[in-house]
Amino acid sequence: MKYTAPKGCKDIYAEEANIFRFLEEKFINVCQLYNYSEIKTPIFENAELFLRSLGEETEVITKQMYLFKDKAERELALRPEGTAGVVRAYIESNLCKTVSKSKFFYSGQMFRYERPQSGRQRQFHQLGVEYFGEEDILADVEVINLAIDFIKNIGIKNFNLEINSVGCKVCQPKYRTVFKNFIEEKKDLTCDDCKERIEKNVLRILDCKQPQCKELIKTAPPLVNYLCENCSKKYKELKNYLTNLNISFKENYFLIRGLDYYTQTVFEITNNELGAQNAICGGGRYNNLVANLGGPKICGTGFALGVERLILILKSQGNIILVSPQVFVIALNSEAKNIALNILNDLRKNNLSAEFGFNASLKSLLKKANNLKVKYAVIIGEEEIKKEKVILKNMQNGEQKEVDRDLLIDEFQGNYIKEGRG
Ligand code: HAM
């Protein structure tokens, strides 16, 4: 039996793992600059939490949840996204009552039973933030600014920000009626799922990916024309602040997002280098979610970035992040192996990363050192053992010299300090 990773799940190792760590570290760094602190929530929650937050008629809930029962028959679900768990923790910890504003970031696996394709997996990773307790649209501006700061910081140049407002409890129902009337007239042109959505949750049709529905939606009345005074004001403020920050954006009047908890601001960041799955970031404001999950009436706003999609872009741009050892220690006989073991220990104690080469000819070990892209090789053969010396070879210019075994670390420190790497 040949074991493979479950469908839609990928092992991440070597170069990809380096990029992954690079992204996570950069994200933490940017979040800290904006005064966000980390939150880690369980990767599974009570299934009910997601049903209540994401919307019963969303694809994530109807088709994509990994549901299971534990031994005590509890209905659990692997988290399909991070917001619901963070909101639950925010309420459960009572932070919602004790701290007026809370800002969190997270990084972790999410699970959705989707048809795998490039940039779409069943287990994937998100980097996200949630900002609680700020009514001012400046909070939305801050999270968008943070996302863009991060995206630029990691070297992604081509991206587009799309924004929209999905209104609130006052204006959204009015638009729902207008949109329902529009779509009912054209019901025959919609896909089978959308025919059902007309009664269950008609606005979900705006998020349908079927070509015939997408065409139809283009001719629908835009939500932005039906926003109440307050939502309209906030949307204008958002656009003004973004313009002031020189953040270019495109208004997409039919952007509604795949989850039901959003109110007012919604946004997505896309990248043209990716194929069909081109959204690298999605987010928005959720004014009612905390209250809907049993907390006080506190608003929130946030986003999540898809790590696998970021990795695809960085790889396609040739942003390869190699982590090579600095020194390759070569032992040419069995006595040299013992000496090399101690040298390796000394190097690592002095913060120099080192790899060990043995049981092969000098030629092939030097070739290995080259492939590893190390800067230096330390060679120990019969002659060097007799003289209590080693050969230190600079792999970049080929120069080599004999160095006293006891002075090797000093030699390195000298070199590294000279090159600004000490
Ligand atoms: P979302 O748009 O569902 O939003 O996901 C955010 C990002 O996760 C997407 O833009 C995409 O890059 C990535 N993503 C989603 N599904 C997959 C998949 N199957 N495979 C690979 N990547 C994927 C949310 O999850 C919200 N919780 C964001 C948010 C936070 N809104 C407010 N706060």
Name which residue sits closest to atom 29 of ligand 1, judged by CA: 303
pLDDT band at 422 (very low <50, low <70, confident <90, very high): very low
pLDDT band at 323 (very low <50, low <70, confident <90, very high): confident
pLDDT band at 415 (very low <50, low <70, confident <90, very high): low
Asked if pLDDT for residue 420 goes beyond 60, the answer is: no
pLDDT of residue 272: 86
Number of alpha helices (DSSP H) and beta strands (DSSP E) in the chain: 16, 16
Task: Compute the distance from residue 344 Cα to the ligand 1 centre, in Å.
Answer: 44
Dmax over CA atoms of the chain, in Å, equals: 94
CA dist., res. 33 & res. 58, Å (int): 34
pLDDT of residue 419: 47
Task: Compute the distance from residue 81 Cα to the ligand 1 centre, in Å.
Answer: 7
The mean of the pLDDT values for the chain is 94
3-state secondary structure of 389: strand
Mean pLDDT within 245-253: 97
pLDDT band at 421 (very low <50, low <70, confident <90, very high): very low
Task: Compute the distance from residue 307 Cα to the ligand 1 centre, in Å.
Answer: 10
Ligand 1, CB within 6 Å, residue ranges? 81-83, 112, 114, 119-121, 124, 126, 128, 130, 258, 279-284, 302-304, 306, 308-309
**Lowest-confidence pick of 35-39, 199-203, 286-290, 405-409:** 199-203
CA dist., res. 260 & res. 65, Å (int): 15
The one-letter amino acid code at 351 reads N
**Lowest-confidence pick of 158-167, 269-278, 365-374:** 269-278
Strand partners, 269: 161, 281
Give percent of the chain above pLDDT 90: 86
Asked if pLDDT for residue 178 goes beyond 70, the answer is: yes
CA dist., res. 254 & res. 268, Å (int): 12
pLDDT band at 413 (very low <50, low <70, confident <90, very high): confident
DSSP 8-state class, residue 320: -
Give percent of the chain above pLDDT 70: 98
Tokens of 306: 């898809």
Asked if pLDDT for residue 180 goes beyond 80, the answer is: yes
Asked if pLDDT for residue 418 goes beyond 90, the answer is: no
Q: Is 323 or 17 the better-scoring residue by pLDDT?
A: 17
